[in-house]
Amino acid sequence: MRIIGEIEHPVYKITVFSMNNRLSVKIEDKLIEQVFKFRDGSGIDGVEDIKSFLNDDFMKSVDESFRQLSRARITSLMHTQASEDEFDEIV
């Protein structure tokens, strides 16, 4: 897998990769990331096509997904930490 480009964004780090006739775009927000893959022949053939794909409507969906993923991560971490704080029952 090799990096073929990066796309500037005010909030996210966006990296475009190429591997085995596929393109992937990884969108990162702190500790969470989303990856979208495109096969050869999908109409997405390079960084410029990826830029067009990442239109305003799509990025709004990405924003919402990051919010949901962040909530799920926080909830799971709180549950995990609460379990670790419990004491074993002594009989």
Q: Is 13 inside any structural domain?
A: yes
Question: What average pLDDT does this structure show over 26-36?
Answer: 96
Q: Is 90 inside any structural domain?
A: no
Q: Is 91 inside any structural domain?
A: no
What's the total number of domains in the chain? 1
Q: Is 59 inside any structural domain?
A: yes
Domain that holds residue 19: 2-85
Mean model confidence pLDDT for the chain: 91
Flag whether pLDDT at 86 surpasses 70. no
Q: Is 22 inside any structural domain?
A: yes
Going by C-beta distance under 8 Å and a sequence separation of 6 or more, which residues neighbour residue 62? 12, 27, 34
Dist. CA 68–CA 47, nearest whole Å = 27
Q: Is 19 inside any structural domain?
A: yes
pLDDT of residue 75: 92
Q: Is 16 inside any structural domain?
A: yes
pLDDT of residue 67: 96
